[in-house]
Homo-oligomer: A and B are copies of this chain.
Amino acid sequence: MKMWEGRFSQQSDRLMELFNNSLPVDQALIEEDVLQNKAWSKALAKAKIVQPAESDAICIALDELLADYAQGRLAFSAEDEDIHMALERLVTQKAGVAGAKLHTGRSRNDQVATVFRMYVKKALKNITGLVSMLQSTLVGRADNEQDIFVPGYTHLQQAQPVVLAHYWLSLFWALEREKSRLDHAASTADSMPLGAGALAGSGFAVDREFLARELGFGSITDNSMDAVAARDFVLEALFAITSLAIVLSRYAEDLIIWSSGEFGFIELADAWSTGSSMMPQKKNPDSLELIRGKCGRFAGNLTRMATTLKGLGLTYYKDLQEDKEPLLDSVAQIVLVLNVFAQVVATLTVKQRTILHKMDPFLYATDIADYLVARNVPFREAHRIVGKIVAFCIENRRELSSLSTAEFARFSSAFAEDVGTLFTLSNAVAHRDLHGGTGPESIARQLRKAKKLLD
């Protein structure tokens, strides 16, 4: 029998029960619902709506049920629409009349919103922790790879040399912003709806501040209609995770390309690669490909929630039951993605020799232009001169560094003997040592700041 079926003359269709049932999904929130039920029973006792002994009985029953669940021994019934109805039923079995009082002054609307926010807060905190772990891995590599040169790319064309540490740190800083977004999403979820009732506020003057303290909320919601209708906290969490996944997909793309035979800059550990069912020689960076491919999943979950919310009136509609599955999926998957990405980065091998071999000699072109500027050639003119030199080199299959001073001088009288000193990677890199650049002091500064942030 349904808990609400007093006014109904006909039973639910079995298919309707299946369609309506969210238990397979929302039992993931059992821990949060137990905490919430316990706090609520205490608040009811505080408000003299139940006896202290009744509240105690409820709490004991709940602890037992959670323990049962943890051991796979909780027996759900076909009538349990969701974890909340299931727990109320089971508490009532154990605690009798006390259990029948548990739902006093509360609606599933405020209850579900509260429990789900608790879950979102916990999940986001966990994800933020994993991002920090990945950042540590990056800092570790950067620390060791301050002297490894790699081409910096734009348009997948070699542009200017950088040190590999600079590349790893670029992700570090991007992740700082992702953490800030995750934190903001968590703060959005950190206001407690409990006490909002179905939509108009509870009919009993429970102590909401007490409840918030018990449940670890930073504040309580100010309006009961907003409290039960709002799902922006889900949307924002889904967005923060998507944004994070997009950044990771971008670095995964780079590393997949760097793993190709043609680049050959890095090699993934065997433990994070896979082979082919047909081609015996293959070693594939599947881990990174999955990370990149799963980006679609996160974006899809975001679109899903946005579409469901669009044009949905107030306050609660059953459409909102569709809020949990995308969030649970995005959380579970980003946890995997972060762990795998950190391991892949930690265990890959950098092939400095190959990288040096593949450096394009034209990488110094900007430095030549800058050299001319320092000798008073306006930049736009300098750019044009170096363009001509590059064209000359391509046509004559020459390398920049092989040109004599006299040859340089044919393009501009500003060139002098010292132009030859430009053609070393360490000079090129050292040259770009302002705040944020790839020069050694800038790298050291980044590392110091990064380590401090991680502490």
Contact = CB atoms under 8 A, between A and B. Distances in A.
A88 B221 CA distance: 53
A311 interface: yes
A417 interface: no
B239 A155 contact: no
A19 B336 contact: yes
Contacts of A60: none
Contacts of A154: 109, 198-199, 228, 276, 279, 282, 284, 315-317
A198 B159 contact: yes
Interface in A138-162: 152-162
The prevalent SS among residues of A at the interface is helix
A58 interface: no
A381 B171 CA distance: 43
Contacts of A336: 15, 18-19
A310 interface: yes
Nearest to A8: B270
A349 to B, nearest CB: 12
Interface in A240-258: 242-243, 246-247, 249-254, 256-257
Most B Cβ at <10 Å: residue of A381, A384, A388, A394 = A384
B281 A386 contact: yes
A75 interface: no
5 contacts: A152-B199, A200-B437, A223-B436, A286-B318, A293-B320
Interface string A201-215: 111111011000000
A252 to B, nearest CB: 7
B16 A365 contact: no
B276 A202 contact: no
Contacts of A84: 277
Interface stretch (A28-36, A114-122, A367-375): A367-375
Interface residues of A, number: 202
Contact of A278 (B11, B171, B198, B201): B198
Nearest to A312: B250
Contact of A290 (B101, B311, B318, B326): B318
Nearest to A245: B310
Interface stretch (A62-70, A129-137, A298-306, A402-410): A298-306
Contacts of A394: 7
Contact of A260 (B157, B310, B429, B433): B157
A413 interface: no
B16 A386 contact: no
B435 A195 contact: yes
A160 B370 contact: no
Given A196-B436, A435-B195, A383 B6 contact: yes
A283 B384 CA distance: 14
A213 to B, nearest CB: 14
Interface string A150-178: 00111111111110001101111110011
A210 to B, nearest CB: 12
Contacts of A289: 155, 317-319
A187 to B, nearest CB: 8
B308 A6 contact: no
A294 interface: yes
